[in-house]
Structure 1
């Protein structure tokens, strides 16, 4: 488990006091709001009171009037409109809502989503030719197209008008379409820049609805807008918070038969909706369509109005998702093997890994898992016919898009944003890309970027945790990037630690004495290797309500655990003192530092017991618990005993951080009197 930096958010105390007074908030809730930039009376009101009136005027977006005018001209002249969408959840939901709305207002409309495996990402010339040959006069891209300069130029040549709607970063030159809708355009007046692709599509729908006087009919689409917004991991503040907050109220009884079926197979029917349930339940099943087969199945799921057919599609997506998980596991294991064999991850700031045997549809997910494992930017590529295409994921603090742009000459095409991107390039450019990205990282990556960080809102006393507080925190939902779930540092003695779960990788615990609070830590089972019951620890956790047998109680969802800062500092000091001792020089030995033959014998038997079960790594905190070492300063005796054993060639050991590894020379007979260090401490 990687050591993490805990960073406590620094809120403005004056602002906390002000909004606490003005809005009658508890001090904890006031602090949490200020930490999220909600620091005025008006901002607090908007945060808690999202309505359809909270949306910005869509016509503030550059080119919106031209887009609306061109679409309505197609409707009035009965021209066929083609929606060109991306194959991820954002693209699928964008395609679906625009298709349904245009059909609702009387347009002749169809949709086209490129095959992920045959056509790849973005608008392509072959597809444009096909669309034109089928008699379409207007193409509207959703969640894609902002970098399609050559493709749109070709479309203009063949007489196919193009409207671009996208949210990805803009390059220096924009496509020459009829309209280019993207709030990130330079000089764009639209006040909220962080919409997902489906959010930009919804703004186009809103503008069309206002113009045709049917705005009251569009709010039902927010269910699908929220799904795409959450799945694309955009910040959940501003208009994105309005979208998700309103949608989460209606989703348990959604009007959309496809979404209803998907919620059934995801075991979410009738349940309270959260960003996590979309991100881990609905999103992966929708993505499985484009990853394993074709994303048009996901679009059909949403635009059909037939319960039976929707259920059949949803069940198919559920099976596709299971197949995807199996495929993903194999590719992840192969990628790890390649990385470990070919490079030294700790010294390489950006990792590029490629193979000709990987399924293109799942490598983006694998990239995210590799980032979790190595905590550094990852590019994973699959090679076919000399062309490498793939996905990239970054870590906080390293702008992936700018890094790719600096190496843009190596790509056939690329696109994305700060944290994620997609690209294609010639196979013979892979090595140059890895070198170029690492040179860029050497110049632009801050020193601590590659150390995982946990952002914490505040230190919380256990006695302050109660049901009322947790209920107040739940009113801050929906959580997500930009509006993170509140996290706290709690301190107390740890009890009843137990590994749980099918693979024993998770942790159950209790913290404190009176009060004591139960906690669960996912993927924290290995904590038992260096922490023992009864020790004083600090936890980073979020809070939730546990309901069991009609009783409610507070529960911690633990993100990380460590010994208290004071304990760790004392242990480090003991190790440091030990490392500079030269026992051949004169130094004063205090009475409390004396060693005895019995102490050495007991400690050696302890090490032999560890050795017998092949446990050759010991954390000093765990050693203190197992040997009942009450005071940290007593640890130095055991460090001295290790040195005595080493001097007598009974053991080889190495201290690494807060742990040591060792191996015993079994069967060796020695006399303690032969140790100069033992004689000095006798």
Structure 2
């Protein structure tokens, strides 16, 4: 692989050169005029940018086109083939996203998560060349083995039980997919594969029995622990250790692959400083802080809502390290594999939530200091409610509110202080407050005559009394 990457960098075939140029690795003519440095040819670039385009044409059109492309010696002809490959890749992406939406809807509506450890779905509307990629995405999302089957004959109102569907499966550690299919051999036309991925053909009339049989097999072998997705980190890094020099040393370990996996790192207690949706919201970029340093963290195929993190929160990140080269500038970049609230932040959030619940029930919270809100605190929360209400919004996730309130470091806010202020407002007739779900409030501003004296609030008096003890 290393020799191949070096050869592509120095003397690529006309076909590969045309495809690399087309996808922008070498930049356009204006970039060349500016003498920008061409993108380095790495295993990641080939694996995630070049190879998928060669693979896609065989999935949605014909593998012959890929062969003709690779064998092309004429640069202009190679360029034409490269454009066909890129068009096929876009077609594959559109089909993949359509099937993903369809499959996710079917899973949420039909799959019994408490009973069936294997997701098995079929459709007459799915392209058989794409379902393997979709099965991978489903397994990644749900942490369960997945088998998708594409039948043909959807236009027939009375499809035959002898129709043969083509299927593709992906598994998790703990369930050997090839062995699982072998246990259903009498129900399959053919099958093949290995522990984590396999292909199969099944008759329509046998599909239901196959789904039941393979789930029976999995129930006897899959443990709860096996169904918890895990990613192993090679080591933990502090902010001081995150440097371009380290990323360069990791680059020297290329090429990465199955026999030489990309090193994976974890960093804890990073502060989310900025969140940016990119590519129309398909991906998300974070700026996270460790001490005085700020780092860029890319969350690919994760929207801002799916990320479920807010500015000001403290998180742990699991990531690989890379170097982003843009406009002649090299910068360190984290490629995020997973994220979670930091342990201290999560513990504090739960403790303050429990303390608020206890206080409102008339009990004295234990283990948590009761904050006494002052005029500035009340004013900050009221401004936030008024600004948000002016945009027609009445639902307030607690974490979103805290994110916006903590932008001013001189006004420290936590779950408990915010909750106390909202309930004082409600008691004083300034707002109506209803808990719509866990950590989600519905708030409506009320019309009041004159100024409301919050010092007359019995709840605020109790807060002050408890805090003074």
In structure 2, do the counterparts of structure 1 residues 295 and 494 end up closer, same or farther at CA, with 3 Å as the change threshold?
Answer: same
Question: Partner residue of 1:572?
Answer: 350
Question: Partner residue of 1:299?
Answer: 67
Aligned-partner SS, 2:397: strand
C-alpha displacement of 1:378 = 2.0
Question: Partner residue of 1:532?
Answer: 311
Match of 2:213 among 425, 428, 436: 436
C-alpha displacement of 1:311 = 4.1
Residue ranges of structure 2 left out of the alignment (5+ in a row): 27-37, 154-162, 465-469
Tell me how far apart the structure 2 counterparts of residues 528 and 288 of structure 1 sit (CA, whole Å): 28
C-alpha displacement of 1:359 = 1.9
In structure 2, do the counterparts of structure 1 residues 680 and 292 end up closer, same or farther at CA, with 3 Å as the change threshold?
Answer: same
Alignment partner of 1:557 is 2:335: yes
Q: Is the 8 A contact 2:275 2:311 kept in 1?
A: no
Question: Partner residue of 2:102?
Answer: 334
Aligned-partner SS, 2:189: strand
Question: Partner residue of 1:471?
Answer: 248
Aligned-partner SS, 2:108: helix
Question: Partner residue of 1:363?
Answer: 131
Q: Is the 8 A contact 2:177 2:197 kept in 1?
A: yes
Alignment partner of 1:583 is 2:351: no
Match of 2:442 among 663, 673, 678: 663
Question: Partner residue of 1:81?
Answer: none
Tell me how far apart the structure 2 counterparts of residues 414 and 585 of structure 1 sit (CA, whole Å): 63
Q: Is the 8 A contact 2:433 2:444 kept in 1?
A: yes
In structure 2, do the counterparts of structure 1 residues 613 and 454 end up closer, same or farther at CA, with 3 Å as the change threshold?
Answer: farther
Question: Partner residue of 1:245?
Answer: 2
Q: Is the 8 A contact 2:262 2:320 kept in 1?
A: yes
1:15-414 correspondence runs (5 A): 244-254=1-11, 256-268=13-25, 271-303=39-71, 307=75, 309-343=77-111, 348-385=116-153, 386-414=163-191
Question: Partner residue of 1:541?
Answer: 319
Question: Partner residue of 1:163?
Answer: none
Aligned-partner SS, 1:353: strand
Tell me how far apart the structure 2 counterparts of residues 443 and 609 of structure 1 sit (CA, whole Å): 56
C-alpha displacement of 1:361 = 1.9
Alignment partner of 1:462 is 2:239: yes
Question: Partner residue of 2:224?
Answer: 447
Q: Is the 8 A contact 1:490 1:540 kept in 2?
A: yes
Tell me how far apart the structure 1 counterparts of residues 363 and 288 of structure 2 sit (CA, whole Å): 48
Tell me how far apart the structure 2 counterparts of residues 493 and 248 of structure 1 sit (CA, whole Å): 35
Q: Is the 8 A contact 1:583 1:677 kept in 2?
A: no
Question: Partner residue of 2:434?
Answer: 652
Q: Is the 8 A contact 1:367 1:379 kept in 2?
A: yes
In structure 2, do the counterparts of structure 1 residues 531 and 475 end up closer, same or farther at CA, with 3 Å as the change threshold?
Answer: same
Q: Is the 8 A contact 1:650 1:668 kept in 2?
A: no
C-alpha displacement of 1:474 = 0.9
Tell me how far apart the structure 2 counterparts of residues 475 and 412 of structure 1 sit (CA, whole Å): 47
Q: Is the 8 A contact 2:272 2:310 kept in 1?
A: no
Q: Is the 8 A contact 2:14 2:73 kept in 1?
A: yes
In structure 2, do the counterparts of structure 1 residues 354 and 630 end up closer, same or farther at CA, with 3 Å as the change threshold?
Answer: farther
Q: Deviations over 1:354-398 (max 9, x none)?
A: 211222222222222333343322222111253222211223444
Q: Is the 8 A contact 1:570 1:633 kept in 2?
A: no
In structure 2, do the counterparts of structure 1 residues 451 and 590 end up closer, same or farther at CA, with 3 Å as the change threshold?
Answer: closer
Aligned-partner SS, 1:423: strand
Alignment partner of 1:506 is 2:274: no
Tell me how far apart the structure 2 counterparts of residues 546 and 271 of structure 1 sit (CA, whole Å): 10
Aligned-partner SS, 1:388: strand
Aligned-partner SS, 1:544: strand
C-alpha displacement of 1:478 = 0.9
Normalization by structure 2: what TM-score? 0.75
Pick which of 448-457 and 642-651 moved more. 642-651
Q: Deviations over 1:159-187 (max 9, x none)?
A: xxxxxxxxxxxxxxxxxxxxxxxxxxxxx
Q: Is the 8 A contact 2:358 2:364 kept in 1?
A: no
Larger RCO, structures 1/2 (Cα 8 Å, 6+ apart): 1
Normalization by structure 1: what TM-score? 0.54
Q: Deviations over 1:243-290 (max 9, x none)?
A: x12221212245655444444444446753322222222322222332
Tell me how far apart the structure 2 counterparts of residues 598 and 514 of structure 1 sit (CA, whole Å): 28
Q: Is the 8 A contact 1:567 1:632 kept in 2?
A: no
Q: CA RMSD in A?
A: 4.2
Aligned-partner SS, 2:353: helix
Aligned-partner SS, 1:413: strand
C-alpha displacement of 1:352 = 1.8
C-alpha displacement of 1:599 = 6.6
Tell me how far apart the structure 2 counterparts of residues 646 and 348 of structure 1 sit (CA, whole Å): 46
In structure 2, do the counterparts of structure 1 residues 495 and 575 end up closer, same or farther at CA, with 3 Å as the change threshold?
Answer: closer
Residue ranges of structure 1 left out of the alignment (5+ in a row): 1-243
